[in-house]
Amino acid sequence: MTTTPALHSTAQEGNEFLPGPVLLLGAPGVGKGTQAQLLVTKYGIPQISTGDLLRGNIARGTELGLKAKEIMSSGHLVDDEIVNQMVLYRLQEQDTHRGYILDGYPRTLDQAKFLDRTITDPIFLPRLPVIAISIVVSYDQLLQRITGRRTCPTCKHIYNIYSNPPKVVDVCDFDGAALTQRSDDTEPVFVERMKTFDAQTAPVVAHYRDQGRFAEADGNLSMEAVSTAIQQALVDLRRASDLRRASR
């Protein structure tokens, strides 16, 4: 009697990790943009941000872009329906076939449910569910990152009075200019921003957590260590998700 080798999986596919759709979450100041770029480089997959999609559609004058422009010029926020459609078009492009990093979408529970339903359609590759990873930085460290920020108006060098101070207080090391602080880099603004962020994000986090597709990465570590933690969380969640699907 002969055994049949598994035809569906070549050795190459077996070795190559398929990242699939990844939603990166994180409050302003946690370094989400930097971490998204590191994942883009590591896995060779695109980053899809709603801000870029909106600007791109408006610039190209697409039907959705024109609608969005009209809504925005009347002082309103672009609704879920338009954002959902922009994402759907984007996800049908070739470069998303191994996965993609979602940034700023899904922002609401409705969007998260919509995306889950939609990407089960066979036209969307890879056929993997969204995994959400939240970069978490302690309140005190985040507060210091933001309220400690100082900028040189001349050479634009950015300092932090706690983690990367100039040699002389409030003076640029390179040109001696007096450093400035952005008017919204203050604790009251930070507290408000955090409240808004937590309120918006909580339902989305709960949705993915309930389905075992959520992890937190410690954002207090170095940039490289945070990236390693995100990649490890992603591999672990994919493996767990594959096992659940296989056992169904």
The residue (of 155 and 225) whose beta carbon lies closer to Zn ion is: 155
* 107 flagged as catalytic: yes
Closest approach of Cβ 159 to Zn ion, in Å?
9
Query: Could you say which of 55, 182, 195, 244 is catalytic?
Result: 182
Least separation in angstroms between residue 160's CB and Zn ion is 15
Nearer to Zn ion, 72 or 155 (CB): 155
Our CB check for Zn ion shows the closer of 116 and 170 to be 170
Q: Which of the residues 90, 107, 150, 238 is marked catalytic?
A: 107
Check if 244 is active-site: no
Does the annotation mark 90 as catalytic?
no
Is 248 noted as a catalytic residue in this protein? no
Nearer to Zn ion, 155 or 223 (CB): 155
Is 149 assigned a catalytic role? Answer: yes
Output the smallest distance, CB 177 to Zn ion, in A. Answer: 5
Which one of 90, 149, 213, 238 is the catalytic residue? 149
Residue ranges that bind Zn ion, judged by CB under 5 A:
152, 154-155, 157, 172, 174-175, 177
* Catalytic hit among 67, 69, 193, 209: 193
Q: Which of 68, 142, 129, 79 is nearest to 107 (CA)?
A: 79
Kindly state the smallest distance separating residue 151's Cβ from Zn ion, in Å.
9
Catalytic residues: 32, 107, 149, 182, 193
